[in-house]
A and B are shown apart, each in its own frame.
Chain A
Amino acid sequence: MERKEFHAKVMFYMMCKSLEEIAKVDEDFQDEIEEFEAKIQWNIVNFKGALVFDKGKFAFVMDDEIEDPDVKFIIDDVDIALAMFKGELDGPSAYMSGDLQIEGNLQAAMMYGSLSDFIAEYLEPIRQPE
């Protein structure tokens, strides 16, 4: 595995784990996902992972493909994936340029995208340690 692919995979894990932890402690986040029901598949170069929102519950899987995803995000360029996970490239821009392919329910994709704001807020101490 190339180091960049390893980094993208670790960043994907970090995104998923962040959502899992935020879902445990943040009431606003819990309210946001209370009615959200979506299976979201990510295919990044050679790696597959998925997030499952099920009316207030959140779970994720690594190295696997879920059946009948509502949305599928496909990225063929690991640099694009890394830029997105690092916050250097936003999802809509990647989608518009064709670097990020989205298949399925766009509304669910947008809802999922809005949840990334919570990650940015919670991981602020990592970005700017006191």
Chain B
Amino acid sequence: MSIQEKVCIRVLGSMIGYAAAEITKFDEDFKNKLEGYEEVIQWKIGDDIAYYTTIKDKTITSGDGIAANPTITLEIDDVSEALNVLIGKSDMSALIGKINIIGGDPQKLLTFSLIMQTVREYLEDLMNQEV
């Protein structure tokens, strides 16, 4: 894994979390999708990339590092594939068999995936252009 890839994953992971938090401020439909959803999702990518997403009370926050009490942990060893998913070059199915899910309800993970799909739609025309 190159240092560039590490930086890109950290930046993109954080940016997606920030974007999701912002969308809850102006999109009521999106906010309502979060109703009753309460999870702390921990991401671990490669050896040393960790960040988490917290969804509670119809708000989203994110942070770097290890969360105190994650309800779901997603471990991905293949950094390059994770980067491809983050930039939209591959979809989540590319991670099937490469992602280790620890704890949590698979159904809630599916709900989370649908939530993130809305975020991706908001960012789509942005991600499809150069940054």
Chain A residues within 8 Å of B, Cβ to Cβ: 1, 3, 6-7, 9-11, 13-14, 17-18, 21-22, 25-26, 85-88, 121-127, 129-130
- B22, CB-defined interface residue at 8 Å: yes
B interface, by DSSP: helix, strand, loop or mixed? helix
Number of A-B contacts (CB under 8 A): 77
Chain B residues within 8 Å of A, Cβ to Cβ: 2-8, 10-12, 14-15, 18-19, 22-23, 25-26, 80, 83-84, 87, 89, 122-123, 125-126, 129-131
A119 to chain B, nearest CB (A): 9
Determine the chain A residues whose CB is within 8 A of the CB of B84 once the complex forms. 129
Closest B residue to A1 by beta carbon equals B26
Determine the chain B residues whose CB is within 8 A of the CB of A25 once the complex forms. 3, 6-7
Tell me, in angstroms, the Cα distance from A23 to B43 when the chains sit together: 22
* Extra contacts besides A6-B22, A125-B4 (11): CB < 8 Å: A1-B25, A10-B19, A10-B126, A14-B11, A17-B15, A86-B129, A87-B131, A121-B4, A123-B11, A125-B87, A129-B87
The answer to whether B83 and A125 touch across the interface, beta carbons within 8 angstroms, is yes
